Structure 1
Amino acid sequence: MKKYLSPGLLILFFVLSAIGHYAHWPATLEFFIAAIAVIFVAGFLGKATESVAHYAGQRLGGFLNATFGNAAELIIAILLVKEGLFDMVKASITGSIIGNLLLVLGLSLFAGGLKFKVQKYNVTLAGMNGSLMIVAIIALFVPAIFLNTHVLHEEDRNSLSLVVAGILIVAYLLWLVFSMITHKNYLADVTEGGDQELPHEHEPAWSKKKSILYLVVATVMVALVSEWLVHTLDTLTSRFGLSELFVGAFVVAIVGNAAEHSAAIMLAMKNKIGAAVEIAVGSSLQIALFVAPVLIFVSHLFGKPMDIVFTVIELAAIGVSVFIAKSITQDGQTNWYEGFLLLAVYLILGVSFFLV
């Protein structure tokens, strides 16, 4: 590992965070220790992702990072669904989508753009990602409009939610088949004389098997530390009178995506923008097209049905995020100013949610 990612400090703060959580240390102390632990663990996950991407390619490496990162969020969300905290679940889903599309992608384009004037990736993939984002918006808007305008009966709420969730899951699984199998080469990483992937500039520190193992270990560590950190938020946020919507959509989402933030930014700064975009946009798509629908089915298994109807505020936030992200990424090339525009929209939404 690099000097800034000391294994000793990584293990030290992870252990301290665990002790603080189970020994019930003061919430403020526990929060700061867990926050530091998240930084180190996120760096570990970023390095593991970079190493896997070297062997598997930028797209698959980014996909694995997004999938492992969202697996942790899915587990936490299932626990919240079991407790019937549907508003918090929907707020966190909203936060994950807009956080990845605006904050993670924005920081990645901004940081990478400062180092490289223009960064390019597969323009066809950019167009497909845009289309999938539009499908996700349609799937969330239609149930809300039909139910809130009372053209459907209230008892149809759960039926419509299950049907829409099922269609989204099928659409996502077929997208994986399309992008990873039948049209893999069609959506391959952009390479211009070797400048884009730079495979020999930074040789991976670990072997292929060790890289995959460390990716799994890092993901488990991220899931644990994130949960410990989220556990302290109720106490801290209550002192500042923050709303549940703001906490779920921004605070929990930022903490939960900390690993993806660092991994995407690190890859963008190494001119591996394909992997960075795959982490940010791919993670948002995975949340909207797979994680959220799965939670609908899981809630029925618990006997506490959750619908797929989001509030107007949440739909507006997701809608503007998809609109600006699609507008910026559809040409297959990026620069630092486009990253700033994404961050500007994120700040506008953040202030608006904070004042709710």
Structure 2
Amino acid sequence: MFMNALLAFIPISLLLEYVFHAPPLWVFFTAVLAIVPLADWLRKATEHVAVHAGPTIGGLLNVTFGNMAELIIAIFILISGNTQVVKAQITGSIIGNALLGLGLAIVVAGFANRGERQKFNAANAGQLSAMLFLTVITLTLPAIFDYTEQLPAFAADAGTRTNLDENLSLGVAVILIVVYLLNLVYTLVTHKDVFAVAEGGHGHGPDKPWSLPVALGVLLGGTALIALESEMLSGALEATASTLGLSEFFLGIIVLAVVGNFAEYIAATYFARRGQMDLAVNIGIGATVQVALLTAPLLVIIGYVLGHPMNLVFSSPLELIAIIAVALIVTSVTKDGETTWFEGVLLLAVYLALALAFYFVTPRGAEAAEGAALALRSLMG
């Protein structure tokens, strides 16, 4: 009901942008609120198409459209040339899915089931955790490479270093996409029985499936509307950040990442509340893996094709620490195949601590630091 109510922001945002020419801040937040229910309807439509297409095709559709809202938002921001915000959105999606989404699901499951320990398939969670560590290696490697090229022993000039970063990122992107495709073959073809057992018996499909034309219509219509809202959102991003006194980096890593993945949070929490922790864990960690191994590499390749090249060099140490923290704490929480509500609290605590750090990496934080430095110099002078 709440999601359907948010659909009202679709016409509101369009009127504000094209009729009333409202301030960018209004357009930005109404577009954000419009994308949230559209992403959820995209998820629903995918589930209904999967009923008609079968489990294998359905799995591929879930992969294709699972992060469609996030991908479309990132593409429009990439076209505007703001690659740092795109990379911030990638980082935000990784930490958001694994810490915020999974953390909320575990807490909800704990309280919905009177504090009992919730069990899930440890082997499946272990495979996902291994892929998380692959994410850590492949996303930190370009940053370390870039730093190495700046050392006196190498001392590559800025132009050469940029070309090398782009070439390395394209190579890493291809590797990640190949690994992700092989993972699909593993889970949907060669070992589908193992994963069917892990997810079976839950009855998580739609009770009354839509007809195939209706499901496809919702899928295509939702995608088109998300693209329209994303274009408005990207156009208002810079002015919104300036008005709020925040950095575009913070809006990308927290706001845009949450908006693009909100449907996953809702789905993981819904299944967790029903005691279906296998599905909740698969959604939380699986969405994180999908962002790192599919969405991010696709954005690198799309940027290259569109003439807006983006590398995978995460220049902020905070981003690298955040990605490493995700792999470590998620593996620690899920390695025994069971969770309690307090472990969900731990995930949420890490997310909030990281969000707070990212908040202070803003113009507001920089101004405060500069003011403190000036005050200190005046006292010493």
Change (3 A) 1:183 1:262: same
From 196, 204, 208, the equivalent of 1:205 is: 208
**1:282-310 CA-partner distances (Å, limit 9, x unpaired):** 22211111222222223332344322211
TM-score of the two chains, using structure 2 as the length reference: 0.78
- Please state how far the C-alpha of 1:190 moved relative to its aligned partner: 3.3
Alignment of 1:34-73 (within 5 A): 34-38=31-35, 40-41=37-38, 44-45=41-42, 47-48=44-45, 64-65=61-62, 67-73=64-70
- Please state how far the C-alpha of 1:143 moved relative to its aligned partner: 2.4
Once residues 58 and 88 of structure 1 are traced to their aligned partners in structure 2, the CA distance between those partners, rounded to angstroms, is: 35
* Structure-2 residue corresponding to 1:14: 10
Mapped contact 1:68–1:216 kept (Cα < 8 A): no
SS at match of 1:340: helix
Mapped contact 2:88–2:252 kept (Cα < 8 A): yes
From 106, 109, 114, the equivalent of 1:112 is: 109
Once residues 183 and 285 of structure 1 are traced to their aligned partners in structure 2, the CA distance between those partners, rounded to angstroms, is: 19
**1:28-87 CA-partner distances (Å, limit 9, x unpaired):** 544554455445445545655666788889998787556414223223323333333221
User: Does residue 345 in structure 1 map to residue 350 in structure 2?
Assistant: yes
From 240, 244, 247, the equivalent of 1:243 is: 247
Query: Any gaps of 5 or more consecutive residues in structure 2?
Result: 362-381
Number of residue equivalences: 347
Mapped contact 1:51–1:204 kept (Cα < 8 A): no
SS at match of 1:206: coil
Once residues 103 and 228 of structure 1 are traced to their aligned partners in structure 2, the CA distance between those partners, rounded to angstroms, is: 26
Once residues 35 and 144 of structure 1 are traced to their aligned partners in structure 2, the CA distance between those partners, rounded to angstroms, is: 31
Mapped contact 1:133–1:322 kept (Cα < 8 A): yes
Change (3 A) 1:237 1:160: closer
* Structure-2 residue corresponding to 1:334: 339
Change (3 A) 1:267 1:62: farther
- Please state how far the C-alpha of 1:330 moved relative to its aligned partner: 2.7
Once residues 32 and 305 of structure 1 are traced to their aligned partners in structure 2, the CA distance between those partners, rounded to angstroms, is: 28
Once residues 303 and 53 of structure 2 are traced to their aligned partners in structure 1, the CA distance between those partners, rounded to angstroms, is: 35
Once residues 182 and 304 of structure 1 are traced to their aligned partners in structure 2, the CA distance between those partners, rounded to angstroms, is: 38
TM-score of the two chains, using structure 1 as the length reference: 0.83
In the alignment, residue 78 of structure 1 is paired with which amino acid?
A: I
From 70, 91, 96, the equivalent of 1:94 is: 91
Mapped contact 2:241–2:248 kept (Cα < 8 A): no
Once residues 285 and 254 of structure 1 are traced to their aligned partners in structure 2, the CA distance between those partners, rounded to angstroms, is: 16
Once residues 283 and 63 of structure 1 are traced to their aligned partners in structure 2, the CA distance between those partners, rounded to angstroms, is: 14
Mapped contact 1:59–1:188 kept (Cα < 8 A): no
Mapped contact 1:172–1:290 kept (Cα < 8 A): yes
User: Does residue 261 in structure 1 map to residue 265 in structure 2?
Assistant: yes
Which stretch shifts more, 135-144 or 78-87?
A: 78-87
- Please state how far the C-alpha of 1:338 moved relative to its aligned partner: 1.8
Alignment of 1:1-356 (within 5 A): 9=5, 12-23=8-19, 24-31=21-28, 33-38=30-35, 40-41=37-38, 44-45=41-42, 47-48=44-45, 64-65=61-62, 67-116=64-113, 117-150=116-149, 153=156, 154=161, 155-190=163-198, 194=201, 197-198=202-203, 204-207=207-210, 209=212, 210=214, 214-215=218-219, 217-225=221-229, 227-229=231-233, 231-311=235-315, 312-356=317-361
Once residues 29 and 134 of structure 1 are traced to their aligned partners in structure 2, the CA distance between those partners, rounded to angstroms, is: 40
Once residues 119 and 41 of structure 2 are traced to their aligned partners in structure 1, the CA distance between those partners, rounded to angstroms, is: 26
**1:152-210 CA-partner distances (Å, limit 9, x unpaired):** 65353333222222111111111111111101112235379x5xx146xx961334635
Max radius of gyration: which structure? 2
Mapped contact 1:57–1:189 kept (Cα < 8 A): no
Once residues 40 and 259 of structure 1 are traced to their aligned partners in structure 2, the CA distance between those partners, rounded to angstroms, is: 8
Once residues 330 and 57 of structure 1 are traced to their aligned partners in structure 2, the CA distance between those partners, rounded to angstroms, is: 31
Once residues 66 and 296 of structure 1 are traced to their aligned partners in structure 2, the CA distance between those partners, rounded to angstroms, is: 18
Which stretch shifts more, 67-76 or 305-314?
A: 67-76
Change (3 A) 1:225 1:302: closer
Change (3 A) 1:280 1:213: farther
Change (3 A) 1:52 1:175: same
SS at match of 1:309: coil
Q: Percent identity?
A: 42
Change (3 A) 1:240 1:305: closer
Query: Any gaps of 5 or more consecutive residues in structure 1?
Result: none
Mapped contact 2:109–2:274 kept (Cα < 8 A): yes
Once residues 76 and 203 of structure 1 are traced to their aligned partners in structure 2, the CA distance between those partners, rounded to angstroms, is: 28
- Please state how far the C-alpha of 1:100 moved relative to its aligned partner: 1.1
Change (3 A) 1:322 1:63: farther
